[in-house]
Structure 1
Amino acid sequence: MMQKRQPARAPVFAVAPMIDWTDRHCRYLHRQLSARARLFTEMVVDQAILHGERDRLLGFASQEHPVVLQIGGSDPQRLAEAAAIGEAFGYDEINLNVGCPSDRVQSGAFGACLMLTPDLVGRCVAAMRAAVSIPVTVKCRIGVDDQDPGPALDMLADHVVEAGADGIWVHARKAWLKGLSPKENREIPPLDYGRVLALKARMPEVFIGLNGGLGSVEAARPFLEHLDGVMLGRAAYGQPGDLLNVDPLYREAPRHDLHGVVAAMADYARDHIEAGGRLIHVTRHMTGLFTGRPGARRWRQMLSEGATRPGATADLILEAYACVEPTADAA
């Protein structure tokens, strides 16, 4: 057995990896809102890392640290090579996806369907751990289809811990590989937080983090009394301003107020446009920043409609913010 390293320092608050959402621009925004949140990339398939445009797929800003590269795949050797490339790019951690239920992922024999082959997942983790010096973690479900979540999750956990995994993030729902869309798999299978708590009780020395159904930083907070980490997904994306509440969990003042966040993102968008990018690449992640506050509708409207226009500049962000500035930071 590979010598077990100490689990990541707890507690950890993370923003979940989300395909088509948590790109580098999204992560830059989230980092302005919290200095402490652990940020994840979208899942990147090992084959894409090995043969694709690596700078486009893996590039990120130094300000994003700590940032985790999530990889999809099921071949130990390819995953090891992809993990080593991720480490060379400067990522702080590598995470193996054992939870995505999409048809595309299933056709590649990875993601949630790997819950059915825990021995293979163990071999993948062992290969990745041998290839890198940074932590390697796993993100999984509590089971798939007709599996009993008790033995299914325990068996997977046993294999990956034996292989040297530095932690396990558990989406506390089953995934149904047939009959439910990825969206339905995030909503229909019932949540079973008790199953994740039971895994932690069974493996007190292992880092165990919880994902699934957590609607806000405040809703996630009680779980930090029992688990090593919590992870928000769609809630963090739809209402990113809530991430201002992460750093105070560590008795630290927020890194920025919303005024500072908007100013930083305008500067970032200006640099992105000067480098050949478009404003919409940045602002599409910002539309929910003022959700629930006076002026939020006008903010969304201006960004959604204006950022797609030819020649749109970063000044649009400041113009839209003028609609909410008098009340947003005081709310």
Structure 2
Amino acid sequence: MIAAFSGGTLIFYAYRLYVGFEFETPVLNHGYVPIIFLIPGSMQYTIEQFLSLEPIPLGGLKRLYPTFFVILLLLFLEWKFPHLLLQSMNQSFAGAPFSIPEMISAIGCVYWVGTFVWMIYQYRMILYRNPNKEAKLGVQVLGMILKGNITFASFIFFSTYFRWHTGIYFTAGLATLMAVVAFIGTEINHELFKDILPGLRQSYRTSRILNLDLEKLQKDLDYYLKVECIYREEDLNLASLSEKLGIKDYQLSEYINAYLGINFNRLINECRISEVCRLLEEEPKANLLSLAYQVGFNSKANFNLAFKAFKKVSPSEYAKSVGRG
């Protein structure tokens, strides 16, 4: 709703410029200034609501603090230096020097662009290195929203700087679109996006590992699996391995799922079965159950089930084939 309100307010101020209407109270003529600071935080909050599987706490609205600061600043200027707010938008676009509110709005546009450039960087794993093909349409929509906001803020900045009326009206049209999309997204519970949200949300979960050095993580994982052979530990689990790697268990799980294409249990069982096969090639008549316990399996049933899942034959059948070979 905040994003929809912001877009609607910018439309109103663009219309004021078009018809030449001015308020008698000077500070009201510059109501668009805090809105420029409001949009980045509100859109960021709205996008996180779209992507997250869990409710975003209201603490996330701390991004709106710059808006409150600008409102207080304008009220202070109205109280102490009202002459600084007397210049109207029409006077500005008629060639008057840049006013204090215009300078503040320019800073707001830079803040706006910076926020969404940061979000593109923050979601770069989703946008540019996304292994989830089902999220393709959702990724395109997300990219359009992020880049659209950068375009929107840039148009406001340059239209104000060059006194370009058409640019302001164009941004008003974009604001209309933004307001409609924001209203649809918040009022009808994402119905428009119900087909693209699941894949996009999964990609968002995966993106929580984007702050990790993935190359180092893979090297460390290879070390523990191929050198230390940590899979031989019978009680090995996701939490204990992630602790050794120095990351959270959900990060390790998401890395294995997204970049290795399997889950944790399958990865460990694959390592165990590979070693059993290697040992059988060295000694085809070795005791299968002893080998199973040696590589980390805790029961014969689990060993047989895992072995057949990987090799499509039972351990005994595999041992016989190796012996014949």
Same fold flag (TM > 0.5): no
Which protein is richer in strand relative to its size? 1
TM-score, normalized by length of structure 1?
0.22
**Larger radius of gyration, structure 1 or 2?**
2
Q: So what's the TM-score if we normalise by structure 2?
A: 0.22
